[in-house]
Chain A
Amino acid sequence: MGELKIKDKQIVVPGEVLAEGMDYLPSAGTYRNENDILSNQIGLASVSGRVIKVIPLTGKYKPKRNDIVIGEVVNILMSGWIVDIGGPYSAMLTLKDASSSYIERGADLSQFYTYGDIIASEIVSVSKTKLIDLSMKGPGLKKLKGGRLIDVTSSKVPRIIGREGSMITMIKDSTKCRITVGQNGKVWISGNNVQDETKAVEAIMMVENESHSEGLTDKVKAFLEGK
């Protein structure tokens, strides 16, 4: 019979045996070695039914289709822009997907986005060789002007957003900042004054540092109201 070696939500390290026997199934972040299921990385073990997976706690962003990402324009080509979205691969924004309005052939592309511009965009495709295509067509996808950009670990983005956006809505409402969170771990914050922005940054850092502690929402709420 199969035997579970770990508890749900336990921190595991590479090479740690999660379960023995064929009753359990390995999912993301795990692999099977003969009779055992082992962890592939540092993370939180998660058991749902027979399926075991490990949610990573560290590591570079892995681009996925339909992710909203924040990136910096690093190059302008004949037919589009190259965007740095963090991680080992840069992404391509083509003319077709760059704007909802029509861009004429031979137009000066730097009129739209130029070097150093920060843009929020959506990943439309990721090929096997990690060629990434972006699109700017969609709600909230635009050039981000002003404000500040901070980096967080991409695996903690779901905690920053919270269940159905509860965490980020709370931070937005309390600090009156406009915040855009990219799945690649880049967070753009723009507020009415420096104090508001700083407070939002501190709140987000707090979520990142204590991402897996109990009652995090209440802690952040207390922090936002206390100051």
Chain B
Amino acid sequence: MAYTKRFDGRKFDEIREMEAKVGVIKSADGSAMFRMGKTIAIAAVRGPRNLHPRFLQNPEKGILRCNYDLMSFSVNERKRPGPSRRSQEVSLVTEKALLPALNLDDFPNSVVDVFVQILQADAGTRCAGINAASLALADAGVPMSDLICAVATGIIHKDKAVIDINKEEEDYEGGMADTPLAIMPHSGRITLLQMDGEASREEIKSAIEKTKEACMKIRDVQVNALKKKYGGIKDEI
């Protein structure tokens, strides 16, 4: 059976409704919330600050540490709190997705800590987390060459690419290759690319192109959120 219509009636290249808010955690140096449909991520940045233990310090530039986790109530079946194999992996890929945009040369021996929490999960949580983290880093005033935009695309074998899949689509029995992608929008450089499922080389290539286009829409939402906080936009957008 061909996949002709999406569960929530969206077009195949349509992203879920997005919302971004900067400065949601007052005590942090920078923070942001990013919502894609029913997936909600919040991110807090602390630093640059003194790094302990000392052996982690790099005298040439500052380091980035990311911590991603799901809230225990964010998924249908209660998630046992604390680090897991999955959250460690996502923390690592988040860190590697954000690092190419950051310039930490001015902060030797220090650390920038990024904490990402998922309040509500409906697929694409690592992408929502990266979007929120990128905003939070900008809010914290960490020098960065570009924002990072991420979205997960589903590739259906011998069929088509479905942008920004939700949980229902992720679980599609026909086989959906879940492909999260993060880019730096100005240069188009890819900073995160994973794939879980089966797809051919051509399918992946065309999916990446479509996903990059979708990322530009995410960038608009991020820029608006930042300008709203810092007074670039007077009223509602």
Contact = CB atoms under 8 A, between A and B. Distances in A.
Query: Are chains A and B native binding partners rather than an unrelated pairing?
Result: yes
A79 to B, nearest CB: 21
A62 B106 contact: yes
A38 B145 contact: yes
Nearest to A12: B232
A88 B47 contact: yes
A14 B107 contact: no
Interface string B194-237: 00000000000000000000000001001100110011100000
Contacts of B47: 60, 88
A130 B227 contact: no
B110 A41 contact: no
Contact of B145 (A31, A59, A129, A212): A31
Given A15-B146, A60-B29, A88-B47, A33 B187 contact: yes
A40 interface: yes
Nearest to A59: B141
Given A33-B187, A88-B48, A88-B110, A129 B141 contact: no
A14 B145 contact: yes
Given A14-B138, A15-B186, A88-B49, A40 B110 contact: no
A29 B219 CA distance: 20
Contacts of A14: 101, 138, 143-147
B140 A59 contact: yes
A130 B109 CA distance: 9
B197 to A, nearest CB: 31
5 contacts: A41-B141, A41-B143, A42-B230, A87-B48, A88-B49
Interface of A: 10-11, 13-17, 29, 31, 33, 36, 38, 40-42, 56-60, 62, 87-90, 128-130, 155, 212
Contacts, number: 90
For the complex, would chain B's binding face be called helix, strand, loop or mixed by DSSP majority?
Answer: loop
A40 B140 contact: no
A30 to B, nearest CB: 10
The number of chain B residues touching the other chain, given as a range, is 35 or more
B30 A58 contact: yes
A40 B59 contact: no
B40 interface: no
A14 B109 CA distance: 24
A13 B110 contact: no
B175 interface: no
B58 to A, nearest CB: 11
Interface in B1-35: 29-30
A42 B50 contact: no
Nearest first, the 3 closest Cβ-Cβ pairs linking A and B are: A59-B141, A15-B146, A11-B232
Contacts of A11: 227, 230-232
B142 interface: yes
B131 to A, nearest CB: 14
B84 interface: no
A14 B47 CA distance: 18
B139 interface: yes
Interface string B96-119: 000001010011111000000000
Contact of A41 (B144, B186, B231): B144
B48 A15 contact: no
B37 interface: no
B234 to A, nearest CB: 11
B129 to A, nearest CB: 18
Nearest to B226: A13
Given A15-B145, A15-B184, A58-B140, A40 B48 contact: no
Given A13-B138, A14-B144, A41-B141, 20 more contacts: A10-B232, A11-B230, A11-B232, A13-B223, A14-B101, A15-B101, A15-B185, A17-B186, A33-B186, A40-B103, A41-B143, A42-B139, A42-B230, A58-B139, A59-B141, A60-B47, A60-B48, A88-B49, A88-B62, A130-B109
